[in-house]
Amino acid sequence: MSESVTVRVPAKVNVFLGVGEREFNGYHDLATIFQAVSIYDEVTVTRSTEMALTVTGSYADVVPTDDTNLAWKAAELVAQACGERAAVHIEISKNIPVAGGMAGGSADAAAALLACDELWNAHIPRDQLDALAAQLGADVPFMLHGGCALGLGRGDLLSPIMTRGNFHWVFAMSTGGLSTADVFARIDELRLDDDQEIDVAVPEELMFALAQGDAKALARHMHNDLQRAAVDLKPELAEVLSYGRQSGALAAIVSGSGPTCAFLAGSESSAIDLVVALKSSGLVRDAVHAHGPVHGARVVHQ
Determine whether 130 is an active site residue: no
Give whichever of 19 and 88 is closer to ligand C5P, judged by the CB atom: 19
**Rounded distance, CA 22 to CA 5, Å?**
39
Question: Cβ(151)–Cβ(113) under 8 Å?
Answer: no
Q: What is the DSSP string of 252-280?
A: EEE-TTSSSEEEEESSHHHHHHHHHHHHH
Give whichever of 64 and 184 is closer to ligand C5P, judged by the CB atom: 184
Question: Cβ(33)–Cβ(206) under 8 Å?
Answer: yes
Give whichever of 6 and 35 is closer to ligand C5P, judged by the CB atom: 35
**Nearest one of 169, 162, 163 to 266, comparing CA atoms:** 169
Q: By CB neighbour count within 10 A (0-12 exposed, 13-18 middle, 19+ buried), where does 175 fall?
A: exposed
**Rounded distance, CA 87 to CA 77, Å?**
12
How far does the chain reach from its first CA to its final CA, in angstroms? 10
Determine whether 94 is an active site residue: no
Catalytic residue among 41, 117, 139, 156: 139
Q: What is the DSSP string of 203-237?
A: PHHHHHHHHHT-HHHHHHH-EETTHHHHHHHSTHH
Could you tell me the CA-to-CA distances from 154 to 19, 27, 28, 145 in Å, in that order? Answer: 10, 6, 6, 16
Give whichever of 138 and 252 is closer to ligand C5P, judged by the CB atom: 138
Catalytic residue among 12, 73, 94, 234: 12
Phi, psi of 18 (to 5 degrees): -100, 125
Residues near ligand C5P, by CB under 6 A: 26-28, 30, 137-139, 154-155, 180-181, 184
Closest approach, Cβ 270 to ligand C5P, in A, equals 32
Closest approach, Cβ 211 to ligand C5P, in A, equals 25
Give whichever of 19 and 284 is closer to ligand C5P, judged by the CB atom: 19
Q: Which 3 state secondary structure label does DSSP give 90?
A: strand
Give whichever of 105 and 147 is closer to ligand C5P, judged by the CB atom: 105
Residues recognised as catalytic: 12, 139
